[in-house]
Amino acid sequence: MTTQMFGAPVRRREDPRLVTGNGRFLDDLGHDALEAAFVRSPHAHARIVDVDVADAIDVEGVAGIYVHEDLTGPMAEPLPLLIPHPSLTHGRTAHALARDEVNHVGEAVVMVVARNRYVAEDACQRIRVTYEQLPVVVGIETARAGEHLVHEDVPGNIAAHLTQEVGDVEAALVAAPHTLTLDLAIERSASMPLEGKGVYARWDDERGELRMYSSTQTSTGVRAAVAARLGLPLAKVECIAPDVGGGFGVKIMHPWPEEALVAWTARLLGQPVKWTEDRREHFVSSAHERGQLHEVTVGFDDEGRVLGLDVRFWHDNGAYTPYGIIVPIITSTQLLGPYKPGAYRVEFWSLYTNTVIVTPYRGAGRPQGVFAMERVMDAIAEQLGLDRAEVRSRNFIQPSEMPYDHGLLFQDGRPLKYDSGDFPASLHKLKKLVGWDDFSEYRAAAEAEGRTVGLGIGCYVEGTGVGPYEGGHVQVETSGRVNVSTGLTSQGQGHETVFAQIVAQELGVRIEDVHVTTGDTRRMPYAVGTFASRAAVMSGNAIALAARNVRAKALRIAADALEVSVDDLDIADGTVSVRGAPGTAMSLGTVSVLSNPLRYAFDEAAQAATQFAGTFDPDKPPVADDDEPGLEGKDFYSPTQATFANGMHAAIVETDPVTAEIRILRYCVVHDCGPMINPMIVEGQVHGGVAQGVGGALYERMDYDSSGQLLNASFMDFLMPYASEVPEIETDHLETPSPLNPLGIKGAGEAGCIPVSAVIASAIEDAEGFPITRMPISPNDLWELRRRHAAG
């Protein structure tokens, strides 16, 4: 019997490499490369009048200086709009180097390539760009007012406007015994991977081939986008994602201007070129998210059941829309979480501002939506004097109602349908874990000590494992070693471990013999990327199917060689044996030798194969008619819809009566991502997500002034939680299988961060006794709220 690998808390195989400093990140590569630096706009909105590079050209070591006018062919075109949508009536994307106008501080205007980064930066200092400043639009209120425009030809700064309605909301609200209206806000924030973006490209002039390395979440996307920009056949471009030090969504964008420009200059100059983002660049020229204002009206009955929900919200999409409306459409369709809203109308406006672009950031639109929905649940409970968990439970979709269709359409125009989940069971577990029913005693004990505490709760549902597809390739070498590749990339999720677990389980080999490669277009040119918590579902299933194919093939070949029936064979620990006759066996390495008409006898397995020469007819094709040579198999997994994970969090916070400091005393999570491939990794993902969520709830905000300057564009000023601010996270799991995929799994990578703002707001509100309607909340904010509340 092979050890049960699926579901085992196997320690991450990549960690020894990573924690001993042996990871190879982008900046560890390309020491022979020229390096690029950029002159970026210091203004949020301005016309470019003149670019004077005369003083920079002669700087010793400068290889090239480029402005927009130097770009040719597709390089001069605006960057692609990656996800169009019919409602995106005024989509706009940036040029790789700004043409005529800049629309946010940090937009690249000039590229300098030089011997090294120091020289490139020195040359940048000598370049003088003359700007004519234009009126600046910062913040949703200003964008909505429409007095000034980000793009002259976009009236009201409205990139997109979309409404969906299920049922008659107006009638439901009129008929409801109770109604409430809430104004809610979540501020802009951003992912902060430890390793910023980076790209390194080598051009091989003799072969006309480009090899790129990029710190990306999609090597196939970068490859395709860059090939198109440079007018190269796909076959002539390779892209490899080395170790990637975090992505959290920002590295899914492709191509980033720098990716296209570095590849283009590498070809132009015939020399390797590299660019590594610095932290300030990450703040002002990568991507942000989260910024939304919500106006919610809810109608409900005396029991707290929602009868109608009317949500209007405004999304700050920054200066351009490469990702269309993906973030607000996720908010609008997944805001409902585990609840049935009666009639539902959601309407949003996606607005341009003179700030950094938006791309999906871990959770992608859900933290905002969950914040809005959960504030509503708490407000209903408060109004009716009901228990907050009870109100939630009365509105739950029941397991018997699965699959559940809210009647909403997702980005692709298809209905969004929950496949599975048991919300009452999750809530039951959470209440037990946090001690929900005993909290009044906990509070009384705290109050007796003069402490103010509050308990908060938040529930969410998350569409994970979205298509269109992902592939897996499994190959057994004659040594018995198993090579596994999948095209999506890894940024720290532990894919080398979980995919090896799946293959060990499915094929019947030792995990030590499995070697996993991700994100290399040479190995697997067909792939999408790592985002939307999709790797486990997509590549996990594709790899499982590929391993099953290899297993079936191994059994066919071995049955033939051993002259037994396939049904009499088993594979365990890399050996195929005849059930009941353990002496009659052959290693998978030997099967691999037999699978290949050219049987090199260089290793043990090959020599072992010779013992079957008698039973193996040399005149017969060495593999069955429908097989190809080699013990390998490939498969793809392509679902028709997302699978829905869900979770519920609760937290106990303490607020300081004098300093208004907010401390999280306990943080509890119940999570359901179906069967867990590796519970230790899932918990690590949940912990990381909660840590990021705590940042979003209490610390992290993009502090723009009205002229569009980002005032906190460094780690000196942008607060992130340290280990000391992240509470110990107590977790429990439910494993409701998805009926949609062979392994029954759902994604887990974003879950942790989704409800944290909602939960912390709920707990602070419970502690303080007045509504919390805006996150993040700092001690200053809380102090100010207390002052206003006291003043009535």
Query: Is residue 495 a contact point for ligand MCN (CB under 6 A)?
Result: yes
According to CB under 6 A, which one of 272, 674, 708, 771 is a site residue for ligand MCN?
674
Query: Is residue 420 a contact point for ligand MCN (CB under 6 A)?
Result: no
What's the order of all strands across the beta sheet hosting 292-300? Answer: 158-166, 343-351, 306-316, 292-300, 178-186, 774-775
Can you read off the two tokens belonging to residue 203?
């051009």
Can you read off the two tokens belonging to residue 728?
């110990």
Closest approach of ligand MCN to the CB of residue 12, in Å: 9
- What is the C-alpha separation between 103 and 94, in angstroms, rounded? 9
According to CB under 6 A, which one of 187, 374, 470, 750 is a site residue for ligand MCN?
750
Strand partners, 452: 655
Residue number, 562 or 745, with CB nearest to ligand MCN: 745
Residue number, 191 or 549, with CB nearest to ligand MCN: 191
Closest approach of ligand MCN to the CB of residue 505, in Å: 12
Query: Is residue 492 a contact point for ligand MCN (CB under 6 A)?
Result: yes
- What is the C-alpha separation between 724 and 721, in angstroms, rounded? 7
What binding mask, one character per residue, do residues 452-491 give for ligand MCN by CB under 6 A, x or -?
Answer: ------------x--------------------------x
Residue number, 193 or 693, with CB nearest to ligand MCN: 193
Residue number, 24 or 128, with CB nearest to ligand MCN: 24
- What is the C-alpha separation between 215 and 534, in angstroms, rounded? 19
Segment 336 to 375, residues that bind ligand MCN, using CB under 6 A: 362
Q: Taking contact as CB under 6 A, which single stretch among the options 442-450, 532-540, 606-614, 709-717 is the one that binds ligand MCN?
A: 532-540
Collect all residues with Cβ–Cβ distance below 8 Å to 663 and sequence separation of at least 6. 653, 654, 655, 656
Quickly list H helices, 286-435.
326-334, 366-384, 388-395, 423-434
Query: Is residue 13 a contact point for ligand MCN (CB under 6 A)?
Result: no
Residue number, 110 or 543, with CB nearest to ligand MCN: 543
What Cα–Cα distance (Å) separates residue 97 from each residue in 127, 135, 271? 15, 21, 21
- What is the C-alpha separation between 401 and 417, in angstroms, rounded? 11
DSSP tag of 507: I
According to CB under 6 A, which one of 532, 544, 593, 605 is a site residue for ligand MCN?
532
Helix axes 326-334, 366-384, angle to 10 degrees: 30
Q: How many residues bind ligand MCN (CB under 6 A)?
A: 36
- What is the C-alpha separation between 576 and 391, in angstroms, rounded? 56
- CA 146 to chain CA centroid, nearest Å: 32
Closest approach of ligand MCN to the CB of residue 750, in Å: 5
Query: Is residue 248 a contact point for ligand MCN (CB under 6 A)?
Result: yes
According to CB under 6 A, which one of 173, 357, 498, 576 is a site residue for ligand MCN?
498
Residue number, 7 or 78, with CB nearest to ligand MCN: 7
Q: Taking contact as CB under 6 A, which single stretch among the options 25-33, 202-210, 569-577, 742-750 is the one that binds ligand MCN?
A: 742-750
According to CB under 6 A, which one of 747, 755, 771, 776 is a site residue for ligand MCN?
747
Collect all residues with Cβ–Cβ distance below 8 Å to 222 and sequence separation of at least 6. 199, 212, 214, 216, 239, 254, 255, 259
Residue number, 351 or 677, with CB nearest to ligand MCN: 677
Query: Is residue 214 a contact point for ligand MCN (CB under 6 A)?
Result: no
Query: Is residue 10 a contact point for ligand MCN (CB under 6 A)?
Result: no
Burial call 562-598: b when 16+ CB within 10 Å, e when fewer: bebeeeebbbebbbbbbeeeeebbbbbbbbbbbbbee
Can you read off the two tokens belonging to residue 375?
């504030």
What Cα–Cα distance (Å) separates residue 785 from each residue in 140, 320, 659, 775, 779? 22, 34, 13, 12, 10
Query: Is residue 493 a contact point for ligand MCN (CB under 6 A)?
Result: yes
According to CB under 6 A, which one of 138, 677, 740, 763 is a site residue for ligand MCN?
677
Q: Taking contact as CB under 6 A, which single stretch among the options 242-250, 292-300, 473-481, 635-643 is the one that binds ligand MCN?
A: 242-250
Query: Is residue 533 a contact point for ligand MCN (CB under 6 A)?
Result: yes
Query: Is residue 246 a contact point for ligand MCN (CB under 6 A)?
Result: yes
What Cα–Cα distance (Å) separates residue 253 from each residue in 156, 491, 533, 626, 683? 26, 14, 16, 40, 27
Identify which of 494, 492, 517, 515 has the alpha carbon closest to the alpha carbon of residue 12: 494
Could you please report the per-residue DSSP string of 647-708? EEEEEEEEE-TTT--EEEEEEEEEEE-SS-S-HHHHHHHHHHHHHHHHIIIII----B-TTS
What binding mask, one character per residue, do residues 33-72 give for ligand MCN by CB under 6 A, x or -?
Answer: ----------------------------------------
Residue number, 134 or 536, with CB nearest to ligand MCN: 536
Segment 610 to 669, residues that bind ligand MCN, using CB under 6 A: none
Q: Taking contact as CB under 6 A, which single stretch among the options 51-59, 336-344, 436-444, 672-680 is the one that binds ligand MCN?
A: 672-680
What binding mask, one character per residue, do residues 679-698 give for ligand MCN by CB under 6 A, x or -?
Answer: --xx--x--x----------
Query: Is residue 748 a contact point for ligand MCN (CB under 6 A)?
Result: yes
- Cβ(28)–Cβ(89) below 8 Å: no
Q: Taking contact as CB under 6 A, which single stretch among the options 199-207, 295-303, 635-643, 748-756 is the one that binds ligand MCN?
A: 748-756
Query: Is residue 745 a contact point for ligand MCN (CB under 6 A)?
Result: yes
Closest approach of ligand MCN to the CB of residue 198, in Å: 14
Residue number, 493 or 505, with CB nearest to ligand MCN: 493
Quickly list H helices, 473-628.
495-503, 535-562, 588-594, 604-609
Residue number, 248 or 264, with CB nearest to ligand MCN: 248
3-class state of residue 234 by DSSP: helix
According to CB under 6 A, which one of 535, 542, 729, 754 is a site residue for ligand MCN?
535
According to CB under 6 A, which one of 338, 494, 508, 695 is a site residue for ligand MCN?
494
What Cα–Cα distance (Å) separates residue 607 from each residue in 452, 475, 559? 75, 20, 19
What Cα–Cα distance (Å) separates residue 256 from each residue in 218, 278, 424, 528? 12, 15, 44, 16
According to CB under 6 A, which one of 458, 487, 749, 771 is a site residue for ligand MCN?
749
My answer on whether omega of the bond before 771 falls inside 30° of 0, hence cis, is: no
What Cα–Cα distance (Å) separates residue 48 from each residue in 40, 99, 100, 128? 12, 8, 5, 11
What residue ranges bind ligand MCN (CB under 6 A)?
Answer: 193, 246-249, 362, 464, 491-495, 498, 530-537, 673-674, 676-678, 681-682, 685, 688, 745-750
